[in-house]
């Protein structure tokens, strides 16, 4: 009898564990009366302050003795026409521009921002704001590549970036289970590489990645990590990555709010651009 009871406990425990893994990750419910942003208005780091906050002064200079870091910015339609010469003169050497969102939005300022950064001498790239609740990952990768998210081996074009973070229009994880989210991301990355020959950069925050993918570590071997954390250090990274490639460290930088640091000197940045 005891033997049968033990087997029953193991069966029940295993069944419950499987059910928990198949459920959607815990997601925040929009506050009653809080306006939902207009579709297309999302941008990198939109949810970082709300969900992660700022653990320290965002403009803290990294301590001496660490690897040289190269300053960058990321922009979207919120910045309108960007003063690229001002940014270049202040030491900014690379930029990412929002190209697309879902399969329904193209940044109307993309040409000025993407070509303008290139025109002053920066190394530039494009990013896609993912909406996994609207269309599949491969479909969104195609839309991104077809509308500015491609790559060319000119030494000054960075691989496209997948911005995967809190859903500004609804629940945090877009209504997906953790395994379904991992599948969606994989579909996007696989299609992007098949179209461009490059592994896309993944932009995310550790807390979102843990909540919505279960802290999946399977992309770290191929896809550079762009971590979002508004603090004096990057903090704990998502599973699998032992180092970050880029770091969005503030939303209140000079000239353009979102400032970033590449984890290396300018020659390493050029290496990433050339592949």
| Dist CA 7 CA 11 (whole Å) | 6
Domain count, the chain: 1
Q: Provide the CATH number for the domain around residue 55.
A: 3.20.20.80
7 in any annotated domain: no
* Residue range 136-184, pLDDT digits in tens: 999 999 999 999 999 999 999 999 999 999 999 999 999 999 999 999 9
Residue from 70, 267, 272 nearest 160 by CA? 272
**250 inside domain:** yes
Per-residue pLDDT tens over the stretch 206-251: 999 999 999 999 999 999 999 999 999 999 999 999 999 999 999 9
- Token pair of 233, please? 């250090």
With respect to residue 64, please indicate whether it lies within any of the assigned structural domains: yes
CA 86 to chain centre: 26
- For residue 140, the enclosing domain spans 43-274
84 lies in a domain?
yes
CB atoms closer than 10 angstroms to residue 210 = 17
Asked whether residue 28 is domain-assigned, the answer is: no
User: 5: part of which helix (H) or strand (E)?
Assistant: helix 2-22
Active site (catalytic) residues: 74, 163, 165
pTM (two decimals): 0.84
Pairing of strands 70-75, 259-262: antiparallel
Q: Is residue 164 part of a domain?
A: yes
Residue 9 belongs to some domain of the structure? no
Distance from the first to the final alpha carbon of the chain? 64
> Per-residue pLDDT tens for 8-52?
444 434 443 344 345 455 555 455 556 777 776 567 665 676 677
In a domain, 29, yes or no: no
């Amino acid at each position: 009898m005891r033997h049968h009871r033990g087997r029953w406990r193991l069966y029940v425990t295993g069944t419950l564990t499987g059910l928990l893994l198949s459920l959607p990750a815990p997601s925040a419910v929009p506050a009653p009366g809080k306006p939902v942003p207009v579709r297309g208005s999302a941008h990198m780091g939109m949810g970082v302050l709300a969900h992660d906050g700022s653990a320290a002064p965002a403009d803290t200079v990294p301590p001496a003795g660490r690897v040289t870091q190269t300053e960058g910015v990321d922009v979207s339609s919120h910045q309108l026409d960007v003063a690229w010469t001002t940014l270049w003169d202040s030491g900014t050497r690379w930029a990412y521009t929002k190209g697309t969102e879902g399969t329904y939005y193209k940044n109307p300022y993309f040409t000025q921002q993407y070509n303008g950064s290139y025109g002053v001498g920066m190394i530039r790239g494009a990013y896609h704001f993912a909406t996994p609740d609207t269309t599949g990952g491969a479909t969104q990768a195609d839309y991104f590549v077809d509308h500015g998210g491609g790559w060319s081996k000119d030494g000054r074009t960075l691989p496209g970036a997948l911005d995967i973070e809190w859903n500004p229009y609804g629940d945090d994880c877009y209504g997906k289970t953790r395994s379904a989210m991992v599948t969606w991301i994989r579909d996007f990355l696989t299609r992007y590489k098949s179209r461009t020959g490059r592994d896309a950069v993944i932009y995310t925050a550790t807390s979102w990645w843990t909540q919505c993918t279960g802290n999946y570590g399977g992309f770290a071997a191929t896809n550079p990590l762009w971590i979002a954390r508004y603090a004096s250090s990057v903090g704990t990274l998502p599973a699998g990555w032992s180092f970050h490639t880029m770091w969005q460290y503030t939303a209140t930088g000079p000239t353009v709010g979102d400032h970033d640091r590449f984890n290396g000197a300018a020659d390493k940045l050029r290496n990433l651009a050339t592949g």
